[in-house]
Chains A and B, each alone.
Chain A
Amino acid sequence: MARELMYRDALREAIDEEMERDSSVFIIGEGIAERGGSYKVTEGLLDKYGPKRVRDTPIAEAGMIGVGVGAAIAGARPIVEILYVDFAMLGMDMLVNQAAKFRLMTGGDGRVPFVMRTQGGTGGGVAAQHSQSLEALFYHIPGLQVVMPSVPADAKGLLKYALRQQDPVMFLEHKHLYMTKGMVPDGEHIIEFGKGDIKRPGKDVTIIAWSNMIPRALEAAAKLAEEGIDAEVLDPRTLVPLDKAMILTSVAKTNRVVIAQEAVRRGGVASDIASIIQAEAFYDLDAPIEIVAGLNIPVPFNLELEKASVPQVDDIVVAARRTLHAKPFALAAE
Chain B
Amino acid sequence: MSAQSSNANAPSRELLEKLFRTAYKIRVFETEGIKLYRQGLIRGYFHPYLGQEGIATGVCAALKDGDYIASTHRGHGHCIAWGASINKMVAELLQKDTGYCRGYGGSMHIADIKAGNLGANGIVGAGTPLGVGAALASQVKGSDAVTVTFTTDGASNNGTFMESLNLAAIWNLAFVLVVENNQYAVSTKIEESTREVDLYKRGLAIGVESYQVDGNDSLAVYNMTKDAVEKCRRGEGPILIEAKTYRHMGHHVNDPGKYMPADRLAYYKERDPVDRARAALTEMSGIDQSEIDAIENEIRQEFEAAVEFSKASGEVTIAEFREFAAAY
Contact = CB atoms under 8 A, between A and B. Distances in A.
A66 B105 contact: no
Nearest to A28: B136
Interface string A43-59: 00000000011010110
B100 A66 contact: no
A74 B137 CA distance: 6
A242 interface: no
B111 A110 contact: yes
Nearest to A52: B140
Contacts, number: 144
Interface string A100-140: 00111111111000000000000000000000000000000
Contacts of A64: 163, 167
Most chain B Cβ neighbours within 10 Å, of A58, A62, A103, A106 = A106
Interface residues of A, number: 40
Q: How large is the interface on B (under 10, 10 to 19, 20 to 34, 35 or more residues)?
A: 35 or more
A15 to B, nearest CB: 15
A23 B68 CA distance: 21
Contacts of B139: 52
Contacts of B25: none
Interface stretch (B40-48, B116-124, B270-278): B116-124
Nearest to B166: A58
B244 interface: no
B99 A69 contact: no
Nearest to A63: B163
Contacts of B147: 74
23 contacts: A55-B171, A58-B163, A60-B166, A63-B160, A63-B164, A67-B136, A70-B131, A71-B134, A71-B136, A71-B137, A75-B137, A76-B140, A78-B133, A78-B136, A93-B123, A98-B123, A98-B126, A104-B324, A106-B101, A106-B113, A106-B119, A107-B101, A107-B103
Interface of B: 68, 70, 99-105, 109, 111-114, 118-119, 121-123, 126, 128-134, 136-141, 147, 159-160, 163-164, 166-167, 170-171, 324, 328
Interface of A: 23-24, 26, 52-53, 55, 57-58, 60, 62-76, 78, 93-94, 97-98, 102-110, 142-143
